[in-house]
């Protein structure tokens, strides 16, 4: 489903990833674990095409990324649910309209957009906040909103970069429970986090990333 | 949901989101439209003044003494010259009467003879004569054996042309500088305005939006700034022109100028916004 084959990326400032290879199968829940700057975000960004590798190749949804040009990337991203580190929510759109933006971009009908948006907002527990602006939400609710937006198009994989950052343990636990439900319904999950201890007891596979390389797997 | 609808709706949202920078863009585009119209109006006013001056411009050709009997023939000959609107004859007797009217003295009674020459007064069509052509015209008329001398306000025309040319040059330079500054200001403020929508653009890219779905709404927001700025500028200048319309020196609003003054800010707004966002995937 997702496969990285000896992928390397070097930035001018020196950091990057070196010779990274791993595979994520359908229905897996994988954690990329490591300190800040270890290369977790770079790996995620390469998977959804925001960063191109210097060498090696990736296979995402049966497509070799080296053969996917910039014009075709949007259609590949529509098959994935992506949450980046700063969530990139639109502050002047309500909770509902942040999620329905996906339907507008994907060209869905109004009916389908509404149905899908309400369904997913209900699923993440934000149905009571439809008309609120993101600025009025708590940190945990903002994560839920980002998850809702990532899930509305029913992606095969949910990719999230540090979704638990700045959350207290209780709120982080509720987000992990939500992720578990999503995983239980068949969606693969790939998370980058430096708080892997919070996932103890969950069916996750951990990949330790250090200095841009995969060190261990558990 | 149609792409056009998405483009216009998100363009409008992007414009509303731009707040202060958007307002600055509208203001600078208003200055662009206004300065264009003001320069256009000034140019028209100078043309009106020139036409007015030339419309009443006259050359008086004095008939050689002893050839007064040819006056009608001379008049017809001069009337056929290019640009001549009318040729009025003044006989020796009429000249004496005019002198008496103007100076209160009967010259004939005083001198016992009429020393004043008969003449032909030539009026020219507006635009048919310039200060440069005037000397040539006078020398050609003077070459006629029936004409002894010519008189005209050449200095006035020459000075007017000099002043009007200088005024238009200065106004054109100032206008061009103002327009250039307003275009640069617009580009900068539209760029800042587009940055206020950066999280929206990143969000659209993340959820699978195309470059067009990000870039075109921003271009629409630039066009909205142009439409508003241009519209306000055109309205202000047109209302001012209408209020001053009683003065014969102020040109009436010109619809072609209005269309250009509206289209230029829209174009500048669109181009500025199109280049404002470095497309990222």
Structure confidence by residue, pLDDT tens digits, B45-71: 887 887 777 666 788 999 998 888 889
Question: Highest mean pLDDT range out of A192-196, B2-6, B162-166, B240-244?
Answer: A192-196
Q: How many helices (H) and strands (E) does chain B have?
A: 10, 4
The three-point CA angle A217-A60-A183 to 5° equals: 60
Tokens 């181009």 label which residue? B271
pLDDT of residue B280: 39
Its pTM stands at: 0.73
**Burial bucket for residue A26 (CB in 10 Å: 0-12, 13-18, 19+):** exposed
Which backbone phi and psi does A57 adopt, to 5 degrees?
-145, 165
In a domain, A53, yes or no: yes
In whole angstroms, give the CA distance from residue B209 to residue A105: 6
Q: Is A23 helix (H, G, I), strand (E, B) or coil?
A: strand
The three-point CA angle A83-A84-A86 to 5° equals: 120
In a domain, A120, yes or no: no
In whole angstroms, give the CA distance from residue A40 to residue A31: 10
CA-nearest residue to A80 within chain B is B207
pLDDT digits (tens), chain A, 218 positions = 899 999 999 888 777 899 999 999 999 999 999 888 889 999 999 999 999 999 999 999 989 999 998 889 999 999 999 999 989 999 989 999 999 999 999 999 999 999 999 999 999 999 999 999 999 999 999 999 999 999 999 999 999 999 998 889 999 999 999 999 999 999 999 999 988 899 999 999 999 998 888 886 66
Domain count of chain A? 1
Range of the domain at A184: 2-79+155-216
> Does any CB of chain A come closer than 8 Å to the CB of residue B12?
no
Q: Which of A139, A141, A140 is nearest to A127 (CA)?
A: A141
Which backbone phi and psi does A14 adopt, to 5 degrees?
110, -35
In a domain, A28, yes or no: yes
ipTM: 0.90
The two most distant CA atoms of chain B are separated, in Å, by 107
**B14: its two tokens:** 């992007």
In whole angstroms, give the CA distance from residue A33 to residue A209: 6
DSSP B221-261: HHHHHHHHHHHHHHHHHHHHHHHTTTSTTSPPP-HHHHHHH
Which backbone phi and psi does A205 adopt, to 5 degrees?
-105, 130
In a domain, A165, yes or no: yes
The two most distant CA atoms of chain A are separated, in Å, by 49
In a domain, A13, yes or no: yes
In a domain, A189, yes or no: yes
pLDDT tens digits along A173-191: 999 999 999 999 999 999 9
Q: Is A186 helix (H, G, I), strand (E, B) or coil?
A: coil
Residue A78, min C-alpha distance to chain B (Å): 5
Residue B201, min C-alpha distance to chain A (Å): 9
> Does any CB of chain A come closer than 8 Å to the CB of residue B195?
no
Residue B231, min C-alpha distance to chain A (Å): 27
CA-nearest residue to B210 within chain A is A74
Reported as a pLDDT band with limits 50, 70 and 90, residue B279 is very low
> Does any CB of chain B come closer than 8 Å to the CB of residue A96?
no
| CATH code, domain with A58 | 3.40.50.300
**Burial bucket for residue B49 (CB in 10 Å: 0-12, 13-18, 19+):** middle
In a domain, A96, yes or no: no
Characterise B33 by phi-psi region: left (phi > 0), alpha (psi -120 to 50), beta (else): alpha
């Amino acid at each position: 489903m997702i496969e990285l084959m000896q992928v390397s990326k070097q930035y001018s400032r020196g950091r990057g990833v070196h010779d990274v290879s791993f595979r994520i199968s359908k229905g897996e829940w994988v954690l990329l674990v490591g300190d800040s700057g270890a290369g977790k975000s770079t790996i995620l960004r390469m998977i959804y095409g925001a960063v191109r590798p210097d060498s090696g190749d990736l296979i995402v949804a049966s497509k070799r990324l080296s053969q996917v040009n910039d014009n075709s990337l949007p259609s590949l991203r529509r098959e994935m649910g992506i949450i980046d580190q700063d969530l990139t929510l639109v502050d002047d759109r309500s909770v509902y309209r942040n999620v329905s933006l996906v339907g507008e971009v994907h060209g869905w009908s109004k009916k389908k957009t509404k149905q899908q948006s309400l369904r997913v907002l209900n699923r993440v527990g934000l149905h009571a906040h439809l008309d609120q602006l993101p600025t009025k939400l708590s940190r945990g609710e903002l994560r839920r909103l980002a998850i809702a937006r990532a899930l509305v198009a029913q992606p095969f994989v949910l990719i999230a970069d540090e979704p638990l950052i700045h959350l207290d343990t209780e709120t982080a636990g509720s987000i992990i429970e939500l992720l578990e439900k999503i995983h239980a319904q068949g969606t693969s999950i790939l998370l980058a986090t430096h708080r892997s201890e919070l996932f103890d007891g969950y069916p996750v596979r951990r990949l330790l990333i250090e200095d841009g390389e995969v060190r261990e797997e558990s | 949901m149609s792409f056009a609808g998405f483009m216009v709706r998100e363009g409008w949202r992007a414009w509303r989101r731009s707040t202060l920078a958007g307002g600055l863009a509208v203001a600078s585009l208003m200055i662009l439209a206004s300065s264009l119209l003001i320069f256009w109006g000034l140019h028209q006013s100078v043309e009106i003044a020139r036409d007015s001056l030339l419309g009443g411009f006259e050359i008086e050709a004095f008939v050689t003494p002893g050839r007064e009997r040819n006056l009608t023939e001379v008049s017809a000959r001069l009337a056929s010259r290019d640009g001549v609107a009318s040729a009025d004859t003044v006989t020796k007797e009429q000249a004496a009467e005019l002198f008496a009217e103007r100076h209160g003295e009967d010259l004939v009674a005083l001198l016992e003879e009429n020393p004043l020459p008969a003449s032909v007064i030539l009026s020219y069509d507006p635009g048919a004569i310039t200060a440069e052509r005037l000397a040539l015209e006078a020398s050609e008329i003077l070459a006629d054996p029936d004409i002894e001398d010519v008189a005209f306000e050449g200095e006035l025309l020459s000075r007017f042309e000099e002043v009007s040319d200088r005024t238009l040059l200065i106004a054109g330079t100032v206008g061009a500088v103002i327009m250039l500054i307003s275009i640069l200001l617009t580009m900068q403020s539209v760029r800042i305005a587009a940055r206020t929508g950066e999280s929206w653009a990143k969000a659209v890219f993340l959820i699978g939006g195309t470059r067009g779905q990000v870039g075109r709404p921003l271009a629409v927001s630039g066009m909205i700034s142009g439409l508003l700025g241009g519209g306000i500028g055109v309205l202000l200048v047109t209302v001012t022109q209408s209020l001053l319309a009683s003065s014969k020196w102020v040109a009436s609003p010109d619809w072609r100028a209005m269309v250009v003054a509206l289209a230029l800010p829209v174009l500048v707004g669109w181009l500025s916004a199109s280049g404002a966002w470095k497309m990222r995937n």
